[in-house]
Structure 1
Amino acid sequence: MVFAPEKSSQTIQKLYPNFKIIVLDDDFNTFEHVSTCLLTYIPGMSEDRAWELTNQVHFEGQSIVWVGPQEQAELYHQ
């Protein structure tokens, strides 16, 4: 006689992975333009934080400017 395994009553919740919006340095966009875009498109972005991130992009070559769910990341990327 073969028995089917019992169904587990435990539910394992897995979070969706976070996605990152990364701004890369280039020779075309000005500091002001990058900072303005961050203020315009990233929710909750302060002017001071936008300038910090803009400087990081310039001096380090890139900066993670936002982390969160995929759908929102796709909107901010556009």
Structure 2
Amino acid sequence: MAAPATAPGTTTTRVRQPYPHFRVIVLDDDVNTFQHVADCLLKYIPGMTGDRAWDLTNQVHFEGAATVWSGPQEQAELYHEQLRREGLTMAPLEAV
């Protein structure tokens, strides 16, 4: 049996691409209180501390938005949906 023909001097290389990361972004609104936003971040974002939640909540308020988590798409979708269900105003998931 003959081997498949390849052009002389060509090689096939695979370049592994890292999985894309996605950012979960909370937007400022006139509905949610500081306390509610901070409580939601503490409840749903892994590793969130009280101080970090308040820093992000202030960033949402004063800058209009804050990236509250970044990572693999499946987890980003989960955190995005959980925060949205709590009534937070969310930006669409954004690939990094």
The question of a shared fold, defined as TM-score above 0.5 by the shorter chain, is answered with yes
Structure 1: how far apart are the matches of 2:56 and 2:79? 16
Q: CA RMSD in A?
A: 1.3
| 1:32-72 CA distance string (max 9 Å, x none) | 00000000000000000000000000000000000000000
- Tell me which residue corresponds to 2:18: 15
Q: How many residues align?
A: 75
TM-score of the superposition, structure 1-length normalised? 0.89
User: Structure 1 stretches of 5 or more lacking a match?
Assistant: none
Q: 2:53 & 2:15 partners in 1: Cα distance?
A: 38
**Equivalent position of 1:34 in the other structure:** 37
Structure 2 unaligned spans of 5+ = 82-96
For residues 17 and 74 of structure 1, the distance between their equivalents in structure 2, rounded to whole angstroms, comes to 13
